Chains A and B, each alone.
Chain A
Amino acid sequence: MLRDITLGQYYPSDSVIHKMDPRVKLFGTIVFIISLFLFQKISVYVVATLFLAAVIMISKVPFSFMVKGLKGIFVLMMITVVFNLFLTPGTTAFAIRKLKVTWEGIRQAAFMAVRLTYLILGSSVLTLTTTPNNLTDGLEKALSPLKVIKVPVHEISMMMSIALRFIPILLDETDKIMKAQMARCADFESGGLIKKAKSLVPLLVPLFISAFRRANDLAMAMEARGYRGGEGRTKMKPLIYKKRDHVAYVILLTYLVCIIATGNIIAF
């Protein structure tokens, strides 16, 4: 059962956004996030909303999937909103005893809430439309200029993709060890927090030993198949920009220009 879990939250579909080069999507996400923090004007957020809505429509991912990501940050968002409401100085709108709520605070809190929501929605478009593998490939290629300053870009992305492959296997193993220890009367359920933490020791020790053994085997298998780092390696699925990717870059730049223009021209 554990083997069937999908990592990340990839939603398979055949939209243009799904087919796009992961580098474009990475760049797009960054541009979108920056655009959210450039100005504090309603007009700018209208443009951002339109853009985000259009992207979500094109991606063919149901909106309910997007909203799932928001649940995780709900508490964080509430805290930010409350702090902004009460702690922003300015003209008082109303007061609850000694706690003053200012007009500026209301405005600030509303902007913050919208910002965070859009941040999550924007980045979930990336993770929902890109497979984890594709994402690592994109990261490797996008960060490859860093090789000049000796950042081991290839190694990092190789580690990430191996980790992705082994997570389900190790989960499965955890399940097996847990059952085996339970058959030997190990108790993982009862007791307080400290006792529960202690009861994890007989689970974690064998898990770590087995993970190291697997790592050793895998390293040997990789060497046997001629792996010697990123140098001189070719790619089975190289990332090459297609026409749609160039178009996407142009759209992204136009979007950024629009944001800056509205931010500077329109006063509210």
Chain B
Amino acid sequence: MGIIEAAKLAFEYKKYDENGEVEETIRAVDGVDLDVKKGDFVAVLGHNGSGKSTLAKQINAILTPTDGTLYVDGMDVRDEKNIWDVRKTAGMVFQNPDNQIIGTVVEEDVGFGPENMGIPTEEIWERVEESLKSVGMWEYRKNSPNKLSGGQKQRVAIAGVVAMHPKCIVLDEPTAMLDPNGRKEVIRAVRALNQVEKVTAILITHYMEEVIYADKVIVMDDGKIVMQGTPFEIFAQVDTLKKYRLDVPQVTLLAHELRKAGVDLPECVLSTEELVKALCQ
């Protein structure tokens, strides 16, 4: 059984006009079937408004599905009494690094989650140390979060979730507000967590470069899952991706154009090295 299982999952927003009457109903997530296995690294792609953030918030039980079923580690998210356990199982990292750090000192912020779970003091300290080390922020534990760079803040936020020992971590566009260096730092931290600690990672993003390491890529459009497969399978379909207003990594695009122009290249190229190798043969 997978850690996250969704069947015909749907979520509706109601848009109200000035008189408080329902103007229109927007189905942000519309009939999503999803099965994520333990230890997987899943990337969710989609342009703005494709429903990927709504999906993420449902996994963390911040939003309750209006239709369909969603099980997180066997727990039904629609059941009120499961909410806190679901949040413990599936941690969430948000987009804006400033708005999710609660503590005035790095270590205090990482301790916030375990404090809420009612964990004894000594164990909180152990967890804080272990999770700050796992994202490489241990040296900054006494700093004020205000003095860190965006990438560092986001790593602190990840450590804050890791300290709760979740089985699954959902990252809702964690790199959208970061510079290229910060983006690399964060993605490296997420991959390390996934590979070393075997935490299931669900990465929501619109940067194609970040998904090439994923085990599985899901493309969403208009609340529905429109493509699913390994990065290799997804990026082979450059023209379909363009239809969903998504860009493929530059190397892949270059290889695709070269192939169209008649150069003998494999169907999908994901990295510069691969392309160099293929071209030099």
Interface residue ranges, A against B (CB under 8 Å) = 3-4, 132-133, 161-162, 164-165, 168-169, 214, 217-218, 220-228, 232-238
Let me know if B115 is at the binding interface, CB within 8 A: yes
B181 interface residue per 8 A CB criterion: no
- Besides A222-B112, A224-B62, 7 new A-B residue pairs in contact (Cβ under 8 A), listed by A number: A3-B146, A165-B104, A217-B94, A223-B87, A228-B84, A233-B116, A237-B108
Within 8 A of A (CB), among B144-181: 145-147, 160-161, 164
Instruction: Please give the residue numbers on chain B whose beta carbons come within 8 Å of chain A beta carbons, in ascending order.
Output: 60, 62, 84, 87-88, 91-92, 94, 96, 98-105, 107-108, 111-121, 124-125, 128, 145-147, 160-161, 164
Please give, as numbers and ranges, the residues of chain B lying within 8 Å of A225 by CB-CB distance: 87, 91, 102, 112-113, 116, 160-161, 164
- For residue A245, give the distance in angstroms from its CB to the closest CB of chain B: 18
Q: How far is the CB of B156 from chain A (nearest CB, A)?
A: 12
Q: How distant is the Cα of A162 from the Cα of B49 in the complex, in angstroms?
A: 31
Q: Which of A133, A220, A224, A235 contacts B115 (CB 8 A)?
A: A235
A68 to B121 CA separation, bound complex (whole angstroms): 39
Would A236 and B125 count as touching, CB distance under 8 A?
yes
What is the bound-complex CA distance between A227 and B145, given in angstroms?
Answer: 20
B84 → A minimal CB distance (Å):
6
Q: Is the CB of A217 within 8 A of B116?
A: no
- Interchain CA distance A162-B124 in the complex, whole Å: 21
Q: How far is the CA of A226 from the CA of B47 in the complex (A)?
A: 30
Whether the Cβ atoms of A218 and B116 lie closer than 8 Å is no
B103 near A165: Cβ-Cβ < 8 Å: yes
**What residues of chain A lie closer than 8 Å to B92, measured between beta carbons?**
221, 224
Q: Which 5 A-B pairs have the closest CB atoms?
A: A236-B111, A221-B100, A217-B99, A226-B116, A225-B113
Q: Is the CB of A164 within 8 A of B104?
A: yes
A13 to chain B, nearest CB (A): 16
The smallest C-beta distance from A209 to any residue of chain B, in angstroms, reads 14
Contact sample, A vs B, 28 pairs, CB 8 Å cutoff: A4-B147, A133-B105, A162-B102, A164-B104, A165-B101, A214-B96, A218-B99, A218-B100, A220-B62, A220-B94, A222-B112, A224-B60, A224-B94, A225-B91, A225-B102, A225-B164, A226-B88, A226-B113, A226-B117, A226-B164, A227-B112, A233-B115, A233-B116, A233-B118, A235-B115, A235-B121, A236-B114, A236-B128
Asked whether, in the complex, the Cβ of A221 is within 8 Å of the Cβ of B84, the reply is no
User: Which residues of A lie under 8 Å from residue B91 when comparing CB positions?
Assistant: 224-225
Which residue of A161, A224, A238 contacts B104 across the interface (Cβ within 8 Å)? A161
Residue of A nearest to B119 (CB): A234
Chain B residues within an 8 Å CB radius of A237: 108, 121
Residue numbers in A under 8 Å from B87 (CB-CB): 223-226
